[in-house]
Amino acid sequence: MDYGGHDSLSHGNVIVVREYDGQVCYNAGDFNPGHETRIFDNICVVPMGSDGTPNEMVGHTGSACDGGAHGSGALEAWNNSYYTPLAAATVGCSRGVTNLSDVKPPFELGSTSNPMPSPDQIVAWGRAKLLLDV
C-alpha cells in the first residue's frame, strides 16, 4: 500500500496486509499543498509478523501526525478501522512511532484500533465488498 504519488484516493477497501518490504496499510508522505493523499473508510487487517511477533504498525507518514490541516500537503486519513494482534495500532510519523490514539487531529479522526477478527469475518468483509453474498 505504497501511495508513491500525489492526489491518491483510497476509500471503502478491505485490506489484508501481507508482510513484505515494510509495507503496511498505507505508506505516504507529504506533498505540495492541494495534492494530498486521502485514505478513509477502509478496513485494514495487519496479522502477526512472519517471525511470530505482533506487528502493530498500520501506516507510515510524514507530518500528518502533527495535525496537518486539510490542504496542507500532509496525508489525510480518517474513519479507518485497523485490526492488529494487540489492538494497539501505531503510526510511523516524522517524530517517530506514535500510538494511533496519540496522533493529533484531524489526522485519523474517527479511526479505531481493534483486536484481530476471525478469518471467517475477514472473508465475509471481502465477499460483501465484492457483492458475492447478494
pLDDT of residue 100: 93
The amino acid occupying position 123 is V
3 lies in some domain: no
Instruction: Enter the C-alpha cell of residue 132.
Output: 458475492
Sheet holding 90-93, edge to edge: 26-27, 57-60, 90-93, 96-99
Structurally, the chain folds into a number of domains equal to 1
Q: Which domain holds residue 38?
A: 9-129
Q: What is the pLDDT of residue 18?
A: 81
Phi, psi angle pair for 32, to nearest 5°: -65, 145
**In Å, what is the CA distance from 7 to each residue of 58, 73, 81, 94, 106?**
20, 10, 22, 20, 18
- For residue 134, being part of any structural domain is answered with no
Residue 76 inside a domain? The answer is yes
CB atoms within 10 A of CB 42: 20
Tens place of pLDDT per residue across the chain (134 aa):
555 677 888 999 999 998 766 678 988 888 888 888 899 999 999 988 888 888 899 988 888 888 777 788 888 999 999 999 999 999 998 889 999 999 888 899 999 999 999 999 999 999 999 988 75
4 in a structural domain: no
